[in-house]
Amino acid sequence: MKTVGHETERVREMKPITTPTKQGLYDPAYEHDACGIGFIANIKGNISREIVKQGISMLCRLEHRGGQGSDPQTGDGAGIMVQVPHYFFQQTCNDLNIPETGNYGVGMLFLPQDKEERKWFERTFEAIVQEEEQTLLGWRDVPVDASQIGQAAKKSQPFIRQVFIEKSDKSMSEQAFERILYVIRKRAESEALKRQLITCYFAS
């Protein structure tokens, strides 16, 4: 304690924050900083639109997650990650003949607004899928609402598409299929870099 004028001010000793010791499944070696994240799930594994709505509600409370610059309507970006919405795709992509869940993969791609560059990348991607002996079911344009984004964001706004790839061998394990999808992705990214096409990005 110390006296300031006629008032007595209590000064508390600052103690460093320490992590707990290693115990059970916990290991402090895996601790790391994180900012603005949340997790919502159904403990029984039930899939529902309500979980997505709760995720969006939580996202709206994380305004600080999107760092802002001189343009208050342009931030670093934030979003939600969900499971592959299988039933939604079956309803909205009838022309693609979506197979049963687990027999296909979905890629979310940010592509150039330039039509010729975009078509070049898509042809290159389709050739790689064929070389890896998988089946490309087709593409889907993702609906977007750009009315609320700032001018700075509009200058770099990508053309968003989804690509659907069916596994050629239904007996293939999920892990083996995931490896092939990873190879397809990395090969496509490599081809884009060779062409210096930096506006191609696999969001997932």
pLDDT tens digits, one per residue of 117-140: 999 999 999 999 999 999 999 999
Q: What is the mean pLDDT of residues 195-199?
A: 84
The pTM is what? 0.75
Query: Residue 46 pLDDT > 60, yes or no?
Result: yes
Q: Which of 135, 129, 138 is nearest to 166 (CA)?
A: 135
Same domain, 72 and 105: no
Catalytic residue among 35, 60, 93, 200: 35
Domain boundary (57, 81, 105) is at: 81
Question: Domain range spanning residue 35?
Answer: 1-81
Kindly state whether residues 50 and 140 are assigned to the same domain.
Answer: no
Lookup: tokens for 27: 């290991």
Q: Are 164 and 136 in contact (CB under 8 A)?
A: yes
- pLDDT greater than 60 at residue 7: no
pLDDT of residue 13: 62
Question: Are both 122 and 183 inside the same structural domain?
Answer: yes
Give 62-68's long-range contacts (Cβ < 8 A, gap of 24+). 62/36, 62/38, 64/35, 64/36, 65/35, 65/36
Is position 60 annotated as part of the catalytic site? no
Shared-domain flag, residues 65 and 6:
yes
Which one has a higher pLDDT value, 104 or 62?
104
Both tokens of 34, joined, read 């994180």
Q: Do 98 and 155 reside in the same domain of the chain?
A: yes
Express each pLDDT in 135-180 by its tens digit.
Answer: 999 999 999 888 878 787 788 888 999 999 999 998 999 999 999 9
